[in-house]
Structures are given as structure tokens and as C-alpha cells.
Structure 1
């Protein structure tokens, strides 16, 4: 038995969960042992109350995702039976004739919080390690252990919706304010004592043992489904959801439907509706993709799968940041936030101080919102030293160069300042495209040279792409990896190539958008189809943001390096850039406008001459082809990166494409997408696109090989 059962002299039973493995989880072991506990509680004489506690650091980790991933259509009935059985046991516990209390000593997310919800009273340790919530939607699922129904009935639709539809995780104080829990304790050792005290205090209160929604005359807070206000709220939520997900994510829509049903149905019927909805979601490709990447893949990446195993931890103490522009100032901010001393250097003190002012502005906002004290702000700012002096960099154990994408400039700076590093110090280049091996040619110690590619804006983007050059040592890689985690970012590791993985793959999205435009497709349709596959922004709009002028200069740099056509024919791209930038002065949003013109009120519209330049009213491509062209170009490039060793793992590719370039969430990443789309089907679609639109859609050999493997396994 993995649940310790102890009854005290007052008739209160404490059930302490201590399941096999590192965490308590809702798996077969839980179902068996919790069922036995409920049997015993129902038969217990002199029972006055029950406390549910945990012997683990995490109170309860939720459902076993290995079980969920393994569900296939032919096993759906078996899964449904298990789900109904588990919820039946939880309902029996909920209807015990004595008060029950959850003593929450650690994180209780998903199924863990659903277990708390079946208790009459919830007390949590007020500590940063404790998180509460129902994040299943972020994995393409819904809370299927009663979470949707119970939270809706307890809080009301409007208050419950954000926690269900957005998967919000909250600290104990926020959970208390929201009504998700009832009490806090400062010392976790007092949890069970406090829980027992509540039971004793309520021994004469018959309602203490009955859930609010099981009490006679109970009304849902805020109103039920017949309330005009709630009808309007549900209708509004439906419209907002459609706009946000574009119909590509089934889980939020299912959650909304179950929550609406919970407003009109009794608890037990609503729980059955919820079970059916979860069962339907488990077999969707979206859920398979999202679980694979956002749970298993992300855990593998953050767990250091790509980090050299035999290199000790490399903590960054003093960081030099060269260039106080948009990227450099962001790097300085996130590093100072992580407690690192930062030397922010630019060519003038004025420029360096302007870079530091960026951090001050962000920190002031945190103070205004009550997320940081004035003293805390001042302490963080004190870690950033703006300077124009080379000598201030002396003793840095890591220097990150973040200057303009020009190889000669980067070589010059490396040669000039590399000597300021401490013994064994590492030099990192923040570049989005330039090969690290060639950049390292300007270094006296290329083994200590590594690429560290940040994404803009640095303070918001969660990913860092670490690039390993031909001579980059394991120590340099480990240093970059550990620094990335030190500043609370997710690191992926790739091998050297022009554009690496993220820029190279993202470039195909821009290129295909430009090709569609040049073929005569309406520019609004091009961008709408980009958003239609789940990209955050259409290819033309995002090209304006990243700047066609910068792309033109980058291509000039590549040409000087002799690698302009190394990973694809960009002829049409160059032609369009020359037409827009050179002939018409349309370099992008920050250069006065590009494909779009930008108005003072913040709105934008297609630049009218664009229609004369490219639009052909007689061109009518199938929308399915436009969507697949925009998606498959990226998928094919990602597979090529994996095939040629630029990507070291599928997981790095999937996490990198989602967190770095905004690949559609429903795909689970550009490589994971093919797993559920089907390799044989993918090969067939590539061949059709290649026949219709050109060899850039030719199937990568790795996809052909995997298709053959899948066919062999099926046979």
C-alpha cells in the first residue's frame, strides 16, 4: 500500500500518499490504492474526518501522461472505463459523511488539484514551491478528473474560465484570493495539525462534510446558464476563443463546452460529459503532438540531454555584453535579474547608459505593478555597469558580443577584447545567421568560442539557440548551456550552419510568402493563410517587422562570405527585396514601411502600390495548397537540418521551432508534426507539391527513410 493510513484518538484519519517513484501520480497504482483507502474509510467506525497529505515534495503530480499518449482509438473504451471508475472512486470519497481536508505541501497541478477539489476544505503551504491549477489545456487536453465541472460549480463560469481555458498556474496567495483554496500556513509542518483543527472546529457543522454544490438550494456563483449575463459571457468566450485559436486547437473548445454544460447539469451527469470530452481529446493528433513536445520533449531539453555530461557546472559570475542596442540591453537585463554582475559596453558612455535605461524602464514597470520593491529594483540595477572602457571587462568569465551582423566587425571586436576574459573564460557571439566556425577564425582560442543566439525581445522570448562551431569545446558549450538556464531560458543546441536552425527554417516561411506574392496571390490572402496554419503573424507582416533592409544587408554579408546559396535558392526573395527596398525605399516597418503602410493610430494596411507590382486577379490557388506551402517549407527545412546534423535531436527541433520562430502550437513542433500527420502521407503530399510548385518541396531523405521504417513496423 502506497498510502499510509493513520487514525488518531479523535477519530481523524490521515492518508499520506507516498507512491512508487519520485512523485504521486494518477496512475494504475493510485487507482488501486486509493480505491482500497476509500473502501476502508467507508467501513471505518468512529470516523470524524479525513486529511489527505503527501510524503513527497510535490503534493500530487496529476495524470500519467505515458498512459494518455498510449491511448489509441481501439483502446478508447478501455480508457473511458478506467476514467469513469477513477472518478467514481473520487466521488465516493467526496460523499463521505465526515469533513475532508487537503493538506497541500507542494505543487498540485492537473489531477493533483482535482484531488484537492474533492475535499471539503483546502489548506496550502504558503511557499514559492507550491503551484496550483489545471494546466491540461497547454497539453491539448482538459482536466478530466472533475476539474472543469467542479471549478465551474465552485467559482462560477466567469471566475473559473481563465484557469480552465488558459491553464493558469497560481501561487497559494492568488489561489486563496480566487477561492480555489481556503487557508494558508506559513510552516508546512503545521499543515496536518491545521487540517485536523479545522475538522474539530466543524464537528457540529453538518454542512462542513457536504460540498457546496451538493447542498440543497445551491446556486452557482455569478449565475447559471439561464442568466442573461452568463449567456453573454459564454457567447463572448466562444467568439474570443475562435479568434485566438483559429479553430486549430480542439481542447479549449471542449473545455468551454463542458463548462457550459456544468452550468445546467447536475454534477454526476456533467462529470460524464467531461469524461467523454477528455476521451475524445486523447486520440487527437493535437494532443499527441503537444504532450510529446511540451512535456516529454521540454523535460528532456531542460534536463540537459544536449549538454556534455562530464563537464562540471559552469556558473557565470561576471558577464560582459558588447553592444548596448536592442539585443545587448535585453541580455544585460535578464542577466542582472538572475543575479549576474554585468558590464554593458558600447562605443560611448552615452550609448551604454541608454542601454542600462532600458532595464530601469522594465524594472520600474515591475515596481508599479507591485511585483518588485524599490529596493529590489535598485539592487538589480546596481549589477549593471555601463561603460565605454575596455578595461572594465577585465575578469569576465563570459563575454557576449551583440553587435551588428558584420563578420569583419565581429572579428575586430573579438581580437580587441578577447584578452579581457579571465583564465578559461568563454566568448559568445549573439548572431542569428553567421557561421560560428568562421566567426571563431577571429579568435585566438576558437575552442572557447560559441554561438549564443537570443531572440527579440530578449526579456520575453523563452529560447536561446546555442551553436557549436567546429572547434567549440565541451566546456564552452556547457558554459553557454548553464548560463542560459541561469537566466531562466530554455537552451537548444545545434551544430554550425548558415542560419543555424531557427533563422534558416524561419527564412523559408518568409521566402514562401514572398513567392506566393510574386506569383500574384492577393497579399492579404497570403498573410491570412499564414495565420490560418497557426503562425502568429503572416509572412509579409512579419517580414516587415524583421526588416527587409536588414535582410538585404545580411545577404550582402553572405555574398561576401561566399555562402549566399548554401541552403537554398533565394533568387525570388532577392528580387522582391531589391524591388521593395532599392527601387521603392520600402525597407520594413522601422524604415518607413514595407509591404504594409503604418498609420499614426497604430493600424496598418497593405501598401497600395503592392497590388500594381504583384497582384494578379486571375491567379486562384487552392487555399489548402497555400497553407501547405507555408507549413511544409518549414517542415522540410527542419527535416533537412536533422538529416544533415545541424539539429542534434528531434526535441531540440520541436522546442526550437515553437519557442523560437512561433511554429503552430498544434503541430508540437515542425518535426513532431510529421509523426501524427504520417510519414507516408507526408511523402505523398511533398511529391504532389513538388510536381505543382517546384523542387524545393522535394522529400528529404530522412522522411523517406522514416516512412519506410513505419511501413515495415506496420507490416
Structure 2
């Protein structure tokens, strides 16, 4: 043993070869905190002076390689002056440079996820061996930043400029297959053979079989592109990246500009450009909000991670082959699970398989999937008409129509065929899970697993704990959601759960504005300018007017003092007119063939709402935004107060990932803290006559009078 620290150890593996192991003994994940960086620096110096050194392999003793920087230190970085932040960046970059300059070959053995600085560390190595389940990403743009430890410099010199632009500017995960295709990974093996394969490659390099010095030299040079080719590559990507990033987060475009500027420079000069751009973004107004949200998402995932070690889903049953059922089945098959998709109608199963096949074919066309894998995914799904096909599933999830009677009957009918260890779940979006559990023989093995539509792209899953749901069932449900590539949050059973209950309050604010004669298209424009991808009218059209009306009636019955609407609402009128949204071609908007996806304003429609207007009010743009956002924040605080969601951090993540709350604003609780609870409560007084949805709950008022914040609340409860 050459070194044993709290975060890093260095051991000899014989014949002059050493292994530097990231092994955080204080937590179940490796992160590059300042303390860890200090130990890493000590390890590099020890290795440099080790007698007879012939090669170094860098590995992890945790499930994931390294999950980037320490989220708890992000806020400190945001408050630093530029020169101090650049100095901090330089410290880690210097250690990576010294690793890169060791006189022997280096190999990174990457299993699980390597994110942020963890990925940047692998780029400083000469070779990368990845397990087949490994993923890498540089998520900095999601925090309003760019990579700061050499990622914008080394990555394009390893995988080429086009791939580097895509990975850095989108912050997406890159799997082992794509890593191998682009040259990032030199070898991909099964997880059980990762260390063995990395050591084998290291020995061959140390024996002179491969020229590691030549690989290093190529990373030290400017990109081999003419000025014209470089400009074309960057500018051709600019429009696409701008659309993905949106106008409120400049980090992706700044990353693109950084790549353009540093590509023709020496590595030293390129590193200086990266550091300067990083520091400038770190001081921007939106970075604290995005950083807070990113930290909250990491914390949410880590909470789920701690619960899912015993989860194992080899075979999954999906009850219902409709829109949600077929989407869940496809996602499970994409996640390496075998799926039985059950429906009472043979044609429904045929249609479902055809749709899944078509969508997978489009992934092949876009080179997101190869043809052989498409076939393998399809063969993992078995359509079935008999409930007996569920006799050996590990989990069964019901996804039939959103009707309590139909759902209860389906759940009771299928439970008797499940093995004793299996858990049963419902994909309901708002129906109380406890009611659906009545009559089940094993209610402790029943919960809600609420996927959002579309399943393939919406990352959030609400795991709903009913009164009799066991801790083990919650753990396994979290594991299932994580295995599906989702970010799960645990919520307690109540009408609407968390996301839809809060969304309904936001949409209630919209209905009250319409009652006061405000043009719906004006509200949409303002809320989209505020940062929502869709305004409230477009949101209702997307959800379906009838679906939204049913949900609003259920929530009104559950919370009549607050969430009921007095008299006939615009939703009631739309339903009478059979304007049901996108699915009918008419809602608040007109959806005609060839029109934009968002639909076209129907200027004649507002006349249909005129007799619903109680009073015509002059309402300023600012007041419209306040009247939309205040009910959302109040209801989110009420759900937290009731204990129906675990923390403000999880709530903010759920709102951003579930309903598209503007990410650059950090989430409802971040926004409340930034404004100050006292000022927020005082601002609510302006609208108190509009109804109870504008009256803050008891806990929020008490916290405001005591000068407290939700961040303090979260820290106190986590401790």
C-alpha cells in the first residue's frame, strides 16, 4: 500500500504497475471535493516518485466512477471573485496535467457513471477502458457553466470537434457503445471484467506494445482543421444548440464559442481561454439558480441510489397497451428488461408493437440505435392476452384508462397471478393510490409509479407511498425507476400527488385571469417569455381539456376550500364545445394540418368566453405573471408542510422535470428563498381578495415571520 486516504488509495499490483483507486470512505459516491482533490494531488506526486514505476490504472471502488464535483461546494464557487475561482480551477487542472505528464502510460477503468470532473479526469489518461453499462457526460451547461478542468480542450482532441460540440453543449449522457464508436473508449467489456481488462491494457502499454507517447502528443496540438472547416463546424451547430439550450441559458453557446476560440491554440493557451469563460459564466445571474437545481437533482438521485441496491427487475409486466402502457413497455425493454405487455384486445397489442417498432426504427435512422439492438429490444417485449403470463414477473404496473373503477378491477384481477415477491403498481397520474389498494391481498406490496407523458423523454417519476405501502416496496419501486433511467421522487399518497396538484394551482390562476377578461394568448406569451416552454393554454391543450377538467374536479372535491372554481370555467365551456385540445384539433388553439406544433391562435374563440367574464380588469404584465406563479408556490409549500414530499430540493427537481418549471429560475423553493419569504408573503396580500389560492399556508407564514428559509429547512431535516 503506497497510500491510504479518506478518498483515494494507491496500491502496487506488481511489476511496476500501480492502481490509484477512488474510494470515498465517507459516502457511497465518489465526488471531487476539495479534500478529495488534495488527496488526488498527493497520490500523483507519490506515483511520480515511485521506484520502478511502469504504469498507472485509475479505478473506483464504488458503483460509479466519479460523479463530478462536490455539490455542497458549488455555492462557494459561485460567490468567489473571478481571480479566486480561476486559481481554484488551476489547482485541479495542474494535477490533471501532472497526471498526463507521468513518464508512464495511464489507463482509466470507468464503470458506472463518470460525470463532470470525473469524466475530465479520464480525458487526462492515455487510454480508457469502459464497462458496457458505463456512461460519461459533461453536464456543466445545465449549471449555466462550461467544463473548467480541461474538458473543452481535451475532449475535441480525443473524439473530434463534432462529437465534442454535441456532448459539451447538450450535457447529455454518452453510453459505452457511442464512446467506443467515437474513439473515446479503447476497450468495452462486461462490468465483471473491467479491472482485469484495464490492467491487461496497461501491461501491454508498459511492455511497449502500444505507443502511448504518440497519443499524448496528439492531445497537445491544435485541432487539425483549417479555419474555414473549424468555422463551418461550429456555425452549422449554432442554430441547433441554441434551440436546445433556449434563450435563458447562455452556457451552451458560450461553450460553442470556447471550442471555436481554443481549437487553433496550443493546449496551454486553450486552457486559459476555458478558465476565463468559465469564470465569467460563474458570475452570471442565472448560474446560482441552475447550480442550486443541479445540486438538488444530485441529492435527489443520491437519496434514491441509497434505496435501490436490492432492486432487481429481470421481467416486468405492463397491464394495458394504450399510450402509456406501450411507452412504459418500450422504455423497460430499452433498459434491458424483459416485458410482458397485457391487453384484453388483440388489435391494441398489434398497434402497440407496430408503434414501438416504428419509433425504434426512427432511432436507428438517427443513429441513436443500431439495427441489431432494435431487433433485440423488440424481442424483449411479448404481447399477451392472458393474465397467466404474469406468473413470473418481478413487478407489474397497471396503465389502463384513468378511471378508478376500471383500474381497481384490473389490479384485483391481475394480483392473484403474481408471484409472492412481486410488487404491483399503478401508473395513475392523480387518483389516490390508497383507494385503489382496497381489496388487494398484499397492499403492502402496492404503490404508485407515476410516469409522465411522453415516457421516453420525461425524466421524472413519482413513486407514491400509500398508507400500507412497505419500505421495501418503495425501495424496489425506486430501483425500477432508476433502472428505467429516470429521476424518481417519493411522494405520499394524496389527490394529485405533488406535481399535478401544484400544476392545477398554477392553472387555476390562469382560469381566474380569464374570468377577469384577460386574453389567453397574452397570458401564454408572457409565461413563455418568463421561461415556460408552453404557456398555460397550450399546456391545457396538450394535456387534453377533458382530462384536465376531470383532474380539476377531483382536486376540487379533495380541497374544496381552495382548489374549486366558482361557477362555470373556461374548461367547462371548452368541453361543451368539444374543443378538447390537440387530440381534437381544437382547444384554445387551432391545430390544422401543416401548422406549427404549438397550434395557431383562434381569434374568434375568445368571443365564446365573453359571457364567462365576471369583470374586465386592467391587469399589467407583471400582475399576470404574479397571479400565475403565486398559487404554484403557495401550493408547493402546502404539500411540503403536509409532509407529502420529502424536501424543498426534491420539490424543485420535480417541478422542473415534471411540468417544465423554468430551470434557470431554480425551482419554486429556490425562488421563494431568493425573494425572501417575508417579501413573498407581503406580496400575496395584494391578491388576497381573489381567493384562497393566494393565501399562504401556516408554515410559510411562520417561516416568513421568523426570517427563515427553505434551504435552512432542508439542511435541518437532512441532518
Relative to the length of structure 1, the TM-score reads 0.81
Are residues 199 and 682 of structure 1, via their aligned partners in 2, closer, same or farther at CA, if it must alter by over 3 Å?
A: farther
Equivalent in the alignment of 1:610: 605
Aligned counterpart in structure 1 of residue 506 of structure 2, from 502, 506, 509: 509
2:582 is the alignment partner of 1:589? yes
Q: Is the 8 A contact 1:123 1:184 kept in 2?
A: no
Whole-angstrom distance in 2 between the partners of 1:636 and 1:181: 48
Give the 5 Å matches for 1:188-207.
Answer: 188-195=195-202, 197-198=204-205, 201=208
State the Cα deviation string for residues 323-381 of structure 1 (Å, max 9, x = none).
432223334444556535535132x4444544454445455656774164476245313
2:285 is the alignment partner of 1:290? no
Give the 5 Å matches for 1:76-95.
Answer: 78-92=84-98, 94=100
Equivalent in the alignment of 1:125: 129
Shift of 1:656: 2.5
Aligned counterpart in structure 1 of residue 77 of structure 2, from 71, 75, 92: 71
Equivalent in the alignment of 2:677: 679
Equivalent in the alignment of 1:665: 663
Q: Is the 8 A contact 1:293 1:669 kept in 2?
A: no
Aligned counterpart in structure 2 of residue 4 of structure 1, from 10, 32, 36: 10
Shift of 1:569: 3.1
Give the 5 Å matches for 1:188-587.
Answer: 188-195=195-202, 197-198=204-205, 201=208, 210=217, 212-214=219-221, 219-224=222-227, 227=228, 230-231=230-231, 234-235=234-235, 237-263=237-263, 266-282=266-282, 284-304=287-307, 321-335=318-332, 339-340=337-338, 342=340, 344-346=342-344, 348-362=345-359, 369-370=369-370, 372-373=372-373, 376-377=376-377, 379-382=379-382, 384-387=383-386, 400-413=397-410, 419-420=416-417, 427-441=424-438, 449-474=446-471, 477=474, 480-485=477-482, 487-554=484-551, 562-563=557-558, 565=560, 567-571=562-566, 574-582=568-576, 584-587=577-580
Shift of 1:587: 1.6
Equivalent in the alignment of 1:164: 168
Whole-angstrom distance in 1 between the partners of 2:412 and 2:133: 45
Worse-superposed segment, 86-95 or 603-612:
86-95
State the Cα deviation string for residues 521-573 of structure 1 (Å, max 9, x = none).
444432233333333322211211211123334556678xx54736513237x
Whole-angstrom distance in 2 between the partners of 1:152 and 1:321: 43
Q: Is the 8 A contact 1:412 1:442 kept in 2?
A: no
Q: Is the 8 A contact 1:321 1:342 kept in 2?
A: yes
Whole-angstrom distance in 1 between the partners of 2:428 and 2:210: 66
SS at match of 1:571: coil
Shift of 1:641: 0.9
Shift of 1:146: 1.4
Are residues 544 and 16 of structure 1, via their aligned partners in 2, closer, same or farther at CA, if it must alter by over 3 Å?
A: same
State the Cα deviation string for residues 70-127 of structure 1 (Å, max 9, x = none).
435267655443322332344455456x4653343435432233234344xx322252
Equivalent in the alignment of 2:717: none
SS at match of 1:464: strand
**What is the CA RMSD across the aligned residues, in angstroms?**
4.3
Shift of 1:144: 0.8
**Which sections of structure 2, spanning at least 5 residues, go unmatched?**
714-719
Equivalent in the alignment of 2:141: 137
Shift of 1:151: 3.0
Q: Is the 8 A contact 1:110 1:136 kept in 2?
A: yes
Whole-angstrom distance in 1 between the partners of 2:211 and 2:478: 58
Shift of 1:642: 0.8
SS at match of 2:342: strand
Are residues 196 and 448 of structure 1, via their aligned partners in 2, closer, same or farther at CA, if it must alter by over 3 Å?
A: closer
Whole-angstrom distance in 2 between the partners of 1:136 and 1:444: 48
Q: Is the 8 A contact 2:147 2:278 kept in 1?
A: yes
Shift of 1:699: 2.8
Whole-angstrom distance in 2 between the partners of 1:317 and 1:266: 50
Worse-superposed segment, 439-448 or 523-532:
439-448
Q: Is the 8 A contact 2:258 2:274 kept in 1?
A: yes
Whole-angstrom distance in 2 between the partners of 1:473 and 1:5: 43
Are residues 696 and 554 of structure 1, via their aligned partners in 2, closer, same or farther at CA, if it must alter by over 3 Å?
A: closer
Are residues 125 and 621 of structure 1, via their aligned partners in 2, closer, same or farther at CA, if it must alter by over 3 Å?
A: same
Equivalent in the alignment of 1:599: 592
Give the 5 Å matches for 1:40-51.
Answer: 51=56
Shift of 1:590: 1.0
Shift of 1:231: 3.9
Are residues 256 and 624 of structure 1, via their aligned partners in 2, closer, same or farther at CA, if it must alter by over 3 Å?
A: farther
Q: Is the 8 A contact 1:427 1:448 kept in 2?
A: yes
Shift of 1:664: 2.3
Relative to the length of structure 2, the TM-score reads 0.80
Whole-angstrom distance in 1 between the partners of 2:480 and 2:281: 38
2:694 is the alignment partner of 1:697? yes
Q: Is the 8 A contact 2:24 2:30 kept in 1?
A: yes
SS at match of 2:563: coil
Are residues 640 and 25 of structure 1, via their aligned partners in 2, closer, same or farther at CA, if it must alter by over 3 Å?
A: closer
Are residues 203 and 191 of structure 1, via their aligned partners in 2, closer, same or farther at CA, if it must alter by over 3 Å?
A: closer
Are residues 33 and 523 of structure 1, via their aligned partners in 2, closer, same or farther at CA, if it must alter by over 3 Å?
A: same
Whole-angstrom distance in 2 between the partners of 1:64 and 1:263: 29
Q: Is the 8 A contact 2:391 2:419 kept in 1?
A: yes
SS at match of 2:321: coil
User: Rg bigger for which structure?
Assistant: 1
Are residues 223 and 17 of structure 1, via their aligned partners in 2, closer, same or farther at CA, if it must alter by over 3 Å?
A: farther
Shift of 1:594: 0.8
Q: Is the 8 A contact 1:285 1:676 kept in 2?
A: no
Are residues 143 and 601 of structure 1, via their aligned partners in 2, closer, same or farther at CA, if it must alter by over 3 Å?
A: same
Equivalent in the alignment of 2:716: none
Are residues 435 and 371 of structure 1, via their aligned partners in 2, closer, same or farther at CA, if it must alter by over 3 Å?
A: same
SS at match of 1:500: coil
Shift of 1:502: 1.6
**Which sections of structure 1, spanning at least 5 residues, go unmatched?**
none
Q: Is the 8 A contact 2:133 2:176 kept in 1?
A: no
State the Cα deviation string for residues 554-599 of structure 1 (Å, max 9, x = none).
556678xx54736513237x421232221x3312111231111112
